[in-house]
Structure 1
Amino acid sequence: MRVFEIRDDWGLDNLRPGQREVPRAGRGQVLLKMRRAALNARDLIVPERGYGRATGELPLIPLSDGVGEVVEVGADVTRVALGDRVCPTFFQNWVAGSPSAAAFASALGGPLDGVMAEYVCLSEEGVVKVPEYLDDAEAASLPCAALTAWSAVSGEARLRPGDHVLLQGTGGVALFALQFAKLHGATVTVLSSSDEKLARVREMGADHLVNYREHADWARATRALVAERGGYDAIVELGGAQTLGQSLRAIRPGGTIAMIGVLSGLDLSLSLGPIVTRQIRLQGVTVGHRDDFEAMLRAMAAHRVRPLVGSSFPFEGLKEAMAHFAQADRFGKTVIEF
């Protein structure tokens, strides 16, 4: 079968097409014929061994997100059947409850082999059925970015109707967070440096738009929108080192900052006082577990939420897709066709 794999040494130059034997489904396992895959920010980090030893060993098949058809089932499989369309879960060993070291060591696309293979063999516990109304490209985009947004908005922030949410940027997680926040009845403010992208998120339901290039002190500009509340109930923090300080100024007392991204850096220099004196909840979010994935799919199906797919590339065009994904002007998920 065709695969893409990082071999010989780390580095994007060592990501190349190759061939492997088609695996067989053992007891409790299912074999998927992959239909689509989708890119996330971590897929640009993994080839450079950006997570250190936690990235895994070579050779490594990259990418975590995709959708496939069950074409073989092993003995004792009960959760899915032949012909079912399923998504792999990002963390193969995190079914429910609190995370563990073992759960975090079971991510597809590093350290475990990912989905850039024509056939993928997984435990039946590591797949979820896809709602029929979603097409393959939409379904492929869900396991990482969508579940991360769902975990932040529905889980950690515990949004209620009438809450106010601030989202940083218009990347994959932010766009899903916008859709899920609106599903929960929240009022949403979106930050971006692009007026064109802000216009597009307005069409998706965003209530307030702030261009942070025009408003460098965006904490002041956004707090003015929620002055009567004393700040935002929740902020989806994607920037990291250069944005967290302003998020602390924009959040209300007792509010939640869902810490997801570190796009502007890892090393912090800020006052811890506001976190303590205003009882702010700073919560890290790393994707989520299978039970929440299935809860998210039920909510999406009930409200017919559709992921926003941007560009599509053929299997052989993985590296071109990655180059496209790295561009600042992309909008919507980037998918790979098998």
Structure 2
Amino acid sequence: MKAIVLNEAGNLDNLTLEERPMPQPERQEILIRVKATALNYRDLEIAHGHYHTAFRLPLVPLSDGVGEVIAIGEDVTRFKIGDRVCSTFWQRWTGGSFRMAEPSYQRGGPLDGLLSEYAILDEQAAVFAPRNLSDIEASTLPCAAVTAWQALVTEGHIRAGETVLVQGTGGVSLFALQFARASGARVIVTSSSDEKLERAKSLGAFGGINYRRTPEWSAAVLDMTDGRGVDHVIEVGGPQSFEQSLKAASRRGQINVIGYLGGSEGNINPLDIFRKQVEVRGIPVGSRESFEAMNRAIEALDLKPVIDRVFDWTDVANSMRYFAAESRFGKVVLQHVG
């Protein structure tokens, strides 16, 4: 079978198409024919060698994907041949708190990812793809969608009438917008692009703030919420934006720390957290239990992921260059044809 392999970090041209032996499922494993995969910021950082953890190479990249089960090993009970499944990011976090997650079992690093024609999955590390989604749409779920769901629903217990602030218009933020609206919450979006803000409003956001024109955007958030602040923040900017998130949060609000697109350097005064009694938590994607609950909601509400652009799966270097340009609105997908 063919697979894309990262042989050396630091250069996207080091992603090469290679021939590998056809894998065979062992006990409690399934073999899938990969139909589509999707990019996350993590994948780009691993390829460039900037990720906070260095993984052993060579590595097949990408954690997100969907495929059709074409063979099963002994004692497999959760799936049958012909089923359409998504891989989970945390291969051994089936449920419960993050204490149950094992760092050495993350798909796309340190475990090989899904950027190949076929892949082996433990049957406990897969979920049924939502029946209302295409392969391209379902491929986007394992990281970005589960992260947004974990933040707002599993951990955040979002309620109707609350207000959510999402930073930017990447995958996590747009999924958070959709889940928040489906829960009856209001959403404010920040972006450097007026065009993207208008597109976010077309998805249901009631307010948008251009943070380039308004660097102290927390004041605008307070104006939009009559001084109360927001109940939930999807914090993807990192230390540079965290100060504004704190100022924008309501008393007893929640800040979900997910990314660091604005850089990893900065100062945070813990007294600011204390004064508002804000709850700050890191969101390391989520468990299979969260994934399955999210998929039930996606089917029930017929929610559709926002897809920006689709590339052929072998054109991964160009897809990552496009992803890095940050002009996208939503997810970038790699389609496996054939």
Q: How far did 1:165 drift?
A: 0.8
Q: Find the residue that maps to 2:76 and give its secondary structure.
A: coil
When residues 267 and 313 of structure 1 are mapped into structure 2, their CA distance, relative to the original with a 3 A threshold, is same
Give 5+ residue unaligned stretches, structure 2: none
Tell me which residue corresponds to 2:141: 142
Q: How far did 1:319 drift?
A: 0.7
Partners of 1:9 and 1:218 lie apart in 2 by 37
Tell me which residue corresponds to 2:109: 110
Q: Does 1:210 align with 2:204?
A: no
Tell me which residue corresponds to 1:22: 22
Q: How far did 1:337 drift?
A: 1.2
Equivalent residues in 2 for 1:288-327, closer than 5 Å: 288-327=286-325
Partners of 2:43 and 2:314 lie apart in 1 by 16
Q: Find the residue that maps to 2:4 and give its secondary structure.
A: strand
Partners of 1:30 and 1:175 lie apart in 2 by 31
Partners of 2:100 and 2:12 lie apart in 1 by 28
Tell me which residue corresponds to 1:2: 2
Partners of 1:11 and 1:102 lie apart in 2 by 30
Contact 2:9 2:46 in 1 (8 A): no
Identity of aligned pairs, percent? Answer: 43
Give 5+ residue unaligned stretches, structure 1: none
Partners of 1:131 and 1:288 lie apart in 2 by 17
Partners of 1:277 and 1:216 lie apart in 2 by 23
Tell me which residue corresponds to 1:241: 239
Q: Does 1:261 align with 2:284?
A: no
Alignment coverage as a number of residue pairs = 336
Tell me which residue corresponds to 1:180: 179
Instruction: Give the AA of the match of 2:25.
Output: A
Contact 1:258 1:284 in 2 (8 A): yes
TM-score (norm 2): 0.96
Tell me which residue corresponds to 1:222: 221
Instruction: Give the AA of the match of 1:190.
Output: V
Q: Does 1:92 align with 2:106?
A: no
Q: Find the residue that maps to 1:150 and give its secondary structure.
A: helix
Q: How far did 1:56 drift?
A: 2.2
Q: How far did 1:55 drift?
A: 3.7
Q: How far did 1:105 drift?
A: 2.1
Partners of 1:121 and 1:79 lie apart in 2 by 15
Contact 1:87 1:143 in 2 (8 A): yes
Partners of 1:128 and 1:287 lie apart in 2 by 15
When residues 159 and 269 of structure 1 are mapped into structure 2, their CA distance, relative to the original with a 3 A threshold, is same
Task: Deviation per CA, 1:178-216: give whole Å up to 9, x if none.
Answer: 000001100110111111101111110111111112212
Contact 1:156 1:258 in 2 (8 A): no
Q: How far did 1:101 drift?
A: 7.6
Contact 1:160 1:184 in 2 (8 A): yes
Instruction: Give the AA of the match of 2:50.
Output: G
Tell me which residue corresponds to 1:46: 46
Task: Deviation per CA, 1:154-198: give whole Å up to 9, x if none.
Answer: 122221000011111111100000000001100110111111101
Contact 1:233 1:252 in 2 (8 A): yes
Instruction: Give the AA of the match of 1:69.
Output: E
RMSD (Å) for aligned C-alpha atoms: 1.3
**Structure 1 stretches of at least 4 aligned residues deviating more than 4 Å after TM superposition:** none
TM-score (norm 1): 0.96
Partners of 1:272 and 1:58 lie apart in 2 by 39
Contact 2:36 2:334 in 1 (8 A): yes
Contact 1:146 1:173 in 2 (8 A): yes
Task: Deviation per CA, 1:102-140: give whole Å up to 9, x if none.
Answer: 522211111000001101011000000012210000000
Q: Find the residue that maps to 2:314 and give its secondary structure.
A: helix
Q: Find the residue that maps to 1:158 and give its secondary structure.
A: coil
Partners of 2:200 and 2:93 lie apart in 1 by 32
Tell me which residue corresponds to 2:282: 284
